[in-house]
Structure 1
Amino acid sequence: MDYTTRIFSHSQDNDSTDLRPYAPYPHANVWRQILVDADRPGRHISRQQYISAVKRIAVGLQRFGIADQDGVGLLSENDIYYYVLGDGAVAAGAVYSGIPTFVKQAELATAIQAAGLKWLFVAPEFLHLALATVKNLGLPPSMVIVFDPPGLNPYRGGTQASLSNIIDGVDEASFRNANEGHDPTTREAFRFFTSGSTGSVKAASISHRASALRVDFMAAMPLLDKPFLLVIGMFHVSGALNHMRACLGGGYSVYVTKAKDAAAVIDKIHSQSIGSTMITPRIMESMALVLNSTDDARKPLDSLRQISFVGAPCRQETVDMFRKILPDKARVNTGYGTTEVPALSSCIIDDNWVTGCVGQVPPSTAVKIVDFDTLQEVTPGAAGEVCARSAAAFSGYYNNAVATEKAFLPGEPGWFRTGDKGAIDPGSGMLTLLGRFKEIFKVRYEEVAPAEVESVLLQNGDITDALVTSTPARDDDKDRECLAYIVRRDGAQLTAQQVVDFVASKLAAHKVPTGGVLFCHEIPRGTMGKPLKSELDKAVPLPESARFLVAA
């Protein structure tokens, strides 16, 4: 089954024929709100409006000139129409990609190339960046389309096409699902960005079959009687999954917000009676601090029944503190997944939980632990690289055969190498993450590829060699900050602060080496030129080095 047919259909576990058209659950109210703008609560979408919008967008895009399997991207903050546009593009036969909002020009250019984007929708605030980027790439400005979804002011600022123009006057009656008749196992629906294990940005291709199975996974989750607050950036795969769950209807509503700070998230939960949400450990820790500074820490969250943290480890004391703040019947969850293979494990946190434990693997997914060097399966309970296989996994990295080959165990089709170090308790079956084998690391939940930062550093004429790694963050031992080892050209007067400001002018804030700039005479490397990170302690920092800087 293709993704469009699945997202329009009723639950696969329900064979009732007594359903209204496209109703996902028996007697579902197709006019009930499924997507709500938490920043403008009067702006919302029902199941019926969603289906109509997807069809109109699909017809409009085809008439506009978007061809079969064209890459279509969106650069925008969270919005209730974020994946309504995506589902419309996919229904038109295109392949959809959400782009991280922290990108600067070089990063946006990389995203366009990595995902093979032919069309780029952008929120008005990103229009100047998008036009400058495509001009620098030698691409036509006509590929840039303004994202001005219903309920917001229509774009009237210039010559660029806009979503409102494309769907104006379109009749959904002419809709035809462009994916029918194609092989869903090979036909692409989405491309999600990831740094993977090779140090460069790639686009993970998700087939229609895998996307439909992800819908099935979300459909199997228990329904809640109160809304879910979507805080995490919708360009993340978790944003797509929660959108899928909402669009199946059945009484589940997702409130979408652009809020990023703890106080604003707490206000949304309290003022809109939110029942569940998913946040990063950093926001969770900030929320705990804000709540504990009030007279009644529990009151603002009294509607919550479930809160999940994902993406990185969280300190034990923070989790314990949060469990005390939450209402008595509420629970804290954590889990583990990747862009390539989602929903690898999950667990409800109890008094026996320890940091790193991410729960049991569901029946739909297979996980095994292999020795990182020999790639042979380790003895039960031993640590090694976590590898996973699932029918809902990605197909490979778009237009990148080398990275795709490296991503899987050789000779064992479908076994994805996560690059994470972990172990499975042979008694309980619980998976615990112990670290990462990859060079990739995360800063404030976002991935940093050392090779990307090193490439930018070497653009500075005063730098002859560079190596980027990570160091514990100054304010959180569970988080990381970038740390750069730098070799300056002879006679250069480059300072550590100048290095930080140089990178900050070209890359997103989480990629800047604020953890430190350590000048040295040379970076230890092997015969093949690869850096010997185990030898870095021999690279004695010069007096001009500095730790824990702030970008200007």
Structure 2
Amino acid sequence: MKDTHQPPLLTALSSASADSPFVRVGDSSLSLDDLRGAAAAVADRIAGARRVAVNANASMETIVAVVGCLTAGVTAVPVPPDSGPAERRHVLSDSGVQLWLGEAPDDVELPVVPIDVSARSSKSYPEPAAESPALIVYTSGTTGAPKGVVLSRSAIAACLDALSEAWEWTAEDTLVHGLPLFHVHGLVLGVLGALRVGSPLTHTVRPKPAAYAEARGSLYFGVPTVWSRVCAEPTAARALGSARLLVSGSAPLPKPVFEKLSGLTGAAPVERYGMSETLITLSTRYDGERRPGWVGTALSTVQTRLCDDRDQPVPHDGESLGQLQVTGPTLFDGYLGLPEKTAESFTEDGWFRTGDIAVADPGGFHRIVGRESVDLIKSGGYRIGAGEVEQALLAHPGVREAAVVGVPDDDLGQRIVAYVVGDSLDGAVVTDFVAGTLSVHKRPREVRVLESLPRNAMGKVQKNLL
């Protein structure tokens, strides 16, 4: 008879009993035994459902709900707590969820299952098939209605195992972060990663510098905004000097922040790259080079390549721009209910088109230039990466934030427009500064000073709003 036993996705939950706190969220904590029992109590109530929505606020209830879904083999659909009624209606309708887990907004018409973190069940559940869907994570919807990204249990496991190898992440670590629990970074890496590796988790509810400093972890996750704020509080930053590893992702880490964080903590941060559709594919390694502005090499289970508009190879010379394409076991199963859109996202030979523009050096080290749709600027016959210009802008001592876009221009095709945040900035001076560090054709033709840049929950600049 064929052995249908599957190795557990959340390995820590199948380990020996442990009474010490394993997961902390703010003032709430649960041991592995408590988490296992609380998740089983949720599984008892939702078993048999196909998909359920989870009110994915930063709480212990969210973690118990998601683990309960994974225990029961029910696909979880994390819903951002700040989503508006129209976005929420789209996600619930598109995903076809049957239940809502956690506190529900007034406009939710589904049956609601409250989450009681003190409830316990001793019932055990068989491990679901590795290829079964674990999560459906919705994209930000910047190019239309949000799309449901279907992530299998095996893809999540492959990603987390490759990251634990690259970062030397073990059960001896204590992971600390305060990231949202409805994205890959905070939920898959920041919660499921801890439960697979077996490292205790402290979620600070919000990623405030003081909370990070007080947590005394060995491994920290953050987005560039978090690390910028940490650097603005040197006492908190220095308290992280005892950590083994600081990881930055979800958006490019500005070189000035990289350098300041390195100086205050005594160690350079690790940067990595990924998408909801691919999970994490590139990262600098714990034992390798950490180069500001670069996101490292492909993880052990992943292959990457750079291609031009005709899917022809682009040289790895550290300069040539190409579309990043990815293949490997961490890829998603497709966009829910959108087979044509899914097919369009892959090349004829099965590589996923990330839509991101990158360069790679001869050693396979990658630098992400930005999104092809908004960050590849074609001006005066040149192909210019917005990210390179943004990094040059951020090197100006008066510029705190920067975003670069290309706007239609009758003469150039597109002209470079820079949006910057800073004090007493003169556009002409800023333009000359960039022209002094990059090729002249990469200088902004306009510089617009703002009080702040529009960002989403993960700190990414929403260039469509610019």
TM-score, normalised relative to structure 2: 0.73
Q: Does 1:211 align with 2:156?
A: yes
Question: CA contact under 8 A between 2:39 and 2:68: conserved in structure 1?
Answer: yes
Residue 271 of structure 2 aligns to a residue in which SS?
Answer: strand
Q: CA deviation at 1:234?
A: 1.2
* Preserved CA contact (<8 Å) 2:8 2:14: no
CA distance in 2: counterparts of 1:3 and 1:81, whole angstroms: 29
In the TM superposition, residue 397 of structure 1 has moved relative to its aligned partner by 0.5
| Mean Cα deviation higher: 49-58 or 386-395 | 49-58
Cα contact 1:34–1:253 (8 A) shared by 2:
yes
Is 1:193 aligned to 2:185, yes or no?
no
Quote the offset at 1:198 in angstroms: 4.8
Report whether the alignment pairs 1:312 with 2:251.
yes
Corresponding residue of 2:211? 268
User: Which of the residues 2, 5, 8 maps onto 1:6?
Assistant: 8
Aligned residue pairs: how many?
Answer: 394
Residue type at the aligned position of 1:434:
V
Label 1:22 to 1:289 Cα distance change in 2 as closer, same or farther (>3 A): closer
Task: State the match for 2:426 in structure 1.
Answer: none
**2:201 is aligned with 1:247:** no
**Which residue is 1:465 aligned to?**
none
The one-letter code sitting in structure 2 at the alignment partner of 1:432 is R
Please say if residues 332 and 348 of structure 1, whose CA atoms lie closer than 8 Å, have aligned partners that are also in contact: no
Over 3 Å counting, the alpha-carbon distance change for 1:377 and 1:306 in structure 2 is same
The runs of 5 or more residues in structure 1 that have no matched partner are: 11-20, 135-140, 152-167, 442-471, 484-512, 516-536, 538-545
Local SS of the residue matching 2:243: coil
- Higher alpha-carbon Rg: 1
Aligned to 1:338: 275
Amino acid at match of 2:136: R
Shift of 1:195: 3.8
1:360 aligns with 2:297: yes
Contact map agreement 1:197 1:439 (CA 8 A) in 2:
no
Q: Distance in 2 between matches of 1:243 and 1:209?
A: 16
Gaps of 5+ in 2: 377-392, 408-418, 422-443, 455-466
Task: Please state if 1:177 is matched with 2:132.
Answer: no
1:383-402 matches, cutoff 5 A: 383-402=321-340
Q: 1:104 and 2:84 equivalent? A: yes
Which among 355, 365, 372 is matched to residue 437 of structure 1?
372
- After TM superposition, give the deviation of residue 302 of structure 1 in Å: 4.1
Partner letter of residue 241 of structure 1? L
Q: Deviation of residue 44 (structure 1)? A: 1.6
1:380: Cα distance to partner? Answer: 3.4
Identical columns (%): 18
User: Are 1:370 and 1:378, in contact at CA under 8 Å, matched by a contact in 2?
Assistant: yes
Matched residue SS, 1:233: coil
Q: Give the root-mean-square deviation of aligned CA atoms.
A: 3.8
3-state SS of the aligned residue for 1:77?
coil
Note the 1:135-534 alignment, pairs <5 A: 141-146=109-114, 148-150=115-117, 171-173=121-123, 175-177=124-126, 179=128, 184-185=130-131, 187-195=132-140, 198-217=143-162, 220=165, 221-223=168-170, 225-238=172-185, 239-248=187-196, 250=198, 252-260=199-207, 265-291=208-234, 299-326=238-265, 328=266, 330-347=267-284, 355-371=292-308, 373-381=309-317, 382-409=320-347, 411-413=348-350, 415-426=351-362, 428-439=363-374, 476-479=400-403
Q: 1:178–1:143: structure 2 CA closer, same or farther, 3 Å change rule?
A: farther
| 1:190-229 residue CA offsets vs partner (Å, 9 max, x unmatched) | 1111147853311111123323334533554432645221
Kept in 2, the 8 Å contact 1:204–1:398? The answer is yes
Q: Alpha-carbon deviation of 1:436?
A: 1.6
Amino acid paired to 1:78 = A
Deviations 1:357-400 (A, max 9, x none): 100112200001111x2122223333210010111210100111
Residue-by-residue CA offset, 1:507-548 (whole Å, 9 max, x unaligned): xxxxxx999xxxxxxxxxxxxxxxxxxxxx9xxxxxxxx984
Q: Deviations over 1:69-90 (max 9, x none)?
A: 2x21112321234233113223
| Distance change in 2, residues 1:269/1:8 (3 Å) | closer
In 2, the alpha carbon distance for the partners of 1:241 and 1:3 equals 25
For residue 13 of structure 1, what is the aligned residue in structure 2? none
Change (3 A) 1:142 1:514: farther
Instruction: State the distance in 1 between where 2:236 and 2:156 align.
Output: 40
| Aligned amino acid, residue 22 of structure 1 | S
Shift of 1:275: 2.2
In the other structure, the counterpart of 2:32 is 47
- What is the CA distance between 1:171 and its match in structure 2? 4.2
